[in-house]
């Protein structure tokens, strides 16, 4: 290994490596966006190079697509791939029912579309992403640039009637200007602290004019792979109600640990 990884990065890596082992030859695979998903892409690239694994991938963002091509993965559009066998993605938060908050990287719209077009959604995360109730991480809501101030006002008004502890709404910025998604939209981050009824909130938010999609993923995740800094890994299956425990060895393969963007 070219450098010593911090415990949080080790946890992300072991979760990603364990999930990469779930991929079989001939699969069509959705690839998520974010630092943990980037580990997955590297691990899949390593399997393709070492084992000759033949897979087709559908990335959920341009930066994931660039990394996938860089490590030798075949990249196609969702239209070309059709239905997917599995999507593997990260999460900003997950609860005991495997409901998620996603969108910290600004790609939750594409991530939700790709996940919905998959037989299975597998989430990879370090232990710190597990919460008793969703909401500590700001909830991203992708909105149209047209009528942005109106949409924001409607969101703020709607939050008054919902079971949340905080109601601050901020426009996501990057480099001093509003963040722009791959679809050309903006993101409003809802600082809620706690979401009492995630299912209700997901439905209500998407009814607001100008809202394209929110970052709540409800009843869509099948398994979560939880990594720990000491190499331990858990695979929790919501459908089977099972928990598989194991350990992942760190490979002395410099290709996996260099030039990885967080």
Please give the positions annotated as active site.
Answer: 111
Q: Consult the annotation and say whether 90 binds a ligand.
A: yes
Q: How far is the C-alpha of 140 from the C-alpha of 105, rounded, in Å? A: 9
176 is in an annotated binding site: no
Question: Is 30 flagged in the annotation as binding?
Answer: no
- 96 labeled binding residue: no
How many other CB atoms are there within 10 angstroms of residue 93's CB atom?
23
147 annotated binding-site participant: no
> Is 92 marked as binding a ligand?
yes
- 20 labeled part of a ligand binding site: no
Whether residue 258 is annotated as binding a ligand: the answer is: no
* 151 among annotated binding-site residues: no
Helix (H) or strand (E) holding 227: strand 223-227
Q: Are 5 and 13 spatial neighbours (Cβ–Cβ below 8 Å)?
A: yes
Cβ within 8 Å of residue 10, ≥6 positions away? 227, 229, 230, 231, 250
The answer on whether 166 is annotated among ligand-binding residues is no
DSSP code, position 234: E
What are the phi and psi torsion angles at 68 (to 5°)?
Answer: -60, -45
Ordered DSSP codes for 75-111: E--HHHH-SBSEEEE--SEE-TT--EE--TTS-HHHH
Binding residues for substrate: 33-36, 89-92, 102-105, 129
Binding residues: 33-36, 89-92, 102-105, 129
């Amino acid at each position: 290994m070219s450098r010593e990884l911090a415990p949080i990065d080790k946890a992300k890596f072991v979760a990603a490596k364990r999930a990469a082992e779930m991929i079989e030859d001939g699969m069509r695979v959705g690839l998520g966006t974010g630092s943990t998903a980037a580990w997955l892409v590297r691990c899949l690239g390593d399997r393709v190079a070492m084992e000759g694994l033949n897979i087709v991938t559908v990335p959920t963002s341009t930066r994931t697509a660039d990394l996938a091509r860089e490590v030798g993965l075949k990249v196609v559009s969702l239209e070309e791939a059709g239905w997917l066998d599995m999507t593997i993605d990260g999460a900003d938060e997950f609860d005991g029912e495997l409901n998620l908050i996603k969108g910290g990287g600004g790609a939750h719209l594409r991530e939700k579309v790709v996940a919905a077009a998959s037989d299975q959604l597998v989430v990879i995360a370090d232990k710190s992403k597990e919460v008793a109730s969703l909401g500590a991480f700001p909830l991203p809501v992708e909105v149209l640039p047209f009528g942005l101030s109106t949409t924001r006002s409607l969101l703020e008004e709607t939050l008054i009637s919902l079971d949340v502890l905080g109601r601050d709404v901020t426009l996501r910025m990057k480099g001093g200007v509003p963040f722009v998604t791959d679809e050309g939209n903006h993101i409003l981050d809802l600082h809620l602290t706690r979401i009492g009824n995630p299912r209700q909130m997901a439905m209500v938010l998407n009814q607001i004019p100008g809202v394209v999609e929110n970052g709540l993923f409800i009843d869509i995740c099948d398994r979560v792979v939880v990594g720990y800094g000491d190499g331990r890994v858990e695979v929790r299956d919501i459908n089977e109600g099972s928990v598989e425990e194991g350990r992942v060895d760190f490979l002395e393969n410099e290709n996996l640990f260099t030039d990885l963007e967080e």
